[in-house]
Amino acid sequence: MPRLKLAFPAGTDFITQLDVRITDLNYGNHLANQALLGMLHEARVRFLAHLNHTELGNATTSGIILADAEIQFRHEAFLGDQLNITLVIDQLSRIGFDLYYRVDRVIDQMEIAVAKTSIVFFDYHTTHKRAPAPASFEQALQALRNKNEKIRKQ
């Protein structure tokens, strides 16, 4: 059976940290697959807030909707582990983008998982159909990337 192979793109757009909670464990006493998907959702919401956007958008700005999700588990995570979740946008188009996530344990930098969600811009307020990427989203992403590049060069 062929396995899913995700390659995390170069760069970093955003990093956030989450802890593995008791409610995130499965019967194997490690991070459950549905809990990891919830953590990725939390990281995505934080990233969008950092860009001054939301998943639902508003009357003048489209939101986003998840088209698909892929997760490749690489190692276990356990209760109390602090996890860095690094996000990067790839394949930005006029109607969507791919959002990649790399999940690393803070204490030893062990890669726990790599994931990708395909995101489509969506009008929740009038048409309930896919919509063009808001110019403000593209501008905020470019400003963030310019800022990150300046920091890397220092």
How many domains are there within the chain? 1
Instruction: Give the tens place of pLDDT for each residue, 20-46.
Output: 999 999 999 999 999 999 999 999 999
Decide if 122 contacts 55 (C-beta within 8 A): no
pTM to 2 decimals? Answer: 0.94
Residue 8: inside a domain? no
pLDDT surpassing 90 at residue 142: yes
**For residue 19, what pLDDT is reported?**
98
Output the average pLDDT for the chain. 95
> What local confidence, expressed as pLDDT, does residue 59 receive?
87
Domain holding 100, by residue range, is 14-153
pLDDT of the residue at 96:
97
Q: Which helix (H) or strand (E) holds 88?
A: strand 82-90
**Residue 76 CB contacts under 8 Å (≥ 6 apart), including other chains:** 28, 30, 31, 112
In a domain, 75, yes or no: yes
